[in-house]
Structure 1
Amino acid sequence: MDTIESLEPHAGELMVRVSYTCQACEASYAHNAAFHDVAAVLNRTGSVTGLLQFGGVYFHCGEPMTFANSSGRSVRAPLATEDADDGLLDVYLKTRVIQCRCGFRMELPA
């Protein structure tokens, strides 16, 4: 993040203006964000390079990512490559896919 600026007093949640530079495309972006969300990002360790999350919104290339589709993924890998009925039940996780205009995609639990 390059700057965090206070906004004019207003009713509701405390908001700030955040500006930052994307490490992938080197373009600068700015938008309003909730103060507690900015603090959470700044205090995060091991965050993913090039991806910011403010509240429930993910940003990549300086723009909010959009929903692409949903799917079901099996969370169990087969024990063998042959087709064998091992008697185990499959477990599926519903996911939502979000994407950036640059092609970056990410799956989130639904």
Structure 2
Amino acid sequence: MILDSAEPLKPPVSDLVEAAYTCSQCASFYTHPATFQDVSAIINLRGTASGVLQFGGEYVHCGEPMKIAGTGFRSVYAPMTTEDPTVDLLDVYLATKVLQCRCGFRMELPS
């Protein structure tokens, strides 16, 4: 993602700007309101941001906030051996949510 500009909203809204950016993969141009702090955090990144932009609590892909497509639980343990364990470890699970964009892009995050 390439941040093109951050302009004041019309009419002005405290601490919000109109963020304009271009997807470096599909060359699509998008705009939406965002907080000044979120835009400045992206400006301070080096290079271009890839894939998903995070503005506050929203994750943005294809120019719009992603929607929750499901929830689940994932084990925090990766298999340490291919043999059957002799001792059962207590399972620890992490609650997750799946976000999806209208284009079909999906990502899973801790809830």
Question: Normalising by the residue count of structure 1, what TM-score does the alignment of the two structures yield?
Answer: 0.85
Q: Partner of 1:5 in structure 2?
A: 7
In 2, the alpha carbon distance for the partners of 1:74 and 1:58 equals 24
Question: Secondary structure at 1:37's aligned position in 2?
Answer: helix
Q: Partner of 1:108 in structure 2?
A: 109
Question: Secondary structure at 1:38's aligned position in 2?
Answer: helix
In 1, the alpha carbon distance for the partners of 2:101 and 2:42 equals 20
How many positions carry a matched residue from both structures?
A: 108
Do the aligned partners of residues 55 and 47 (structure 1) sit closer, same or farther apart at CA in structure 2, a change above 3 Å counting?
farther
In 2, the alpha carbon distance for the partners of 1:100 and 1:43 equals 26
Q: Is the 8 A contact 1:69 1:98 kept in 2?
A: yes
Identity among equivalent positions (%) equals 55
In 2, the alpha carbon distance for the partners of 1:37 and 1:86 equals 47
CA RMSD of aligned residues (A): 1.9
Superposition deviation, residue 48 in structure 1: 4.9
Q: Partner of 1:39 in structure 2?
A: 40
Question: Secondary structure at 1:81's aligned position in 2?
Answer: coil
Q: Partner of 1:20 in structure 2?
A: 21
Do the aligned partners of residues 54 and 77 (structure 1) sit closer, same or farther apart at CA in structure 2, a change above 3 Å counting?
same
Of residues 37-46 and 70-79 in structure 1, the stretch that sits farther from structure 2 once superposed is 37-46
Q: Is the 8 A contact 1:41 1:54 kept in 2?
A: no
In 2, the alpha carbon distance for the partners of 1:109 and 1:68 equals 14
Superposition deviation, residue 25 in structure 1: 1.7
In 2, the alpha carbon distance for the partners of 1:5 and 1:33 equals 10
Question: Runs (4+) of structure 1 moved beyond 3 Å?
Answer: 44-48
Q: Is the 8 A contact 1:25 1:61 kept in 2?
A: no
Unmatched runs of 5 consecutive residues or more in structure 1: none
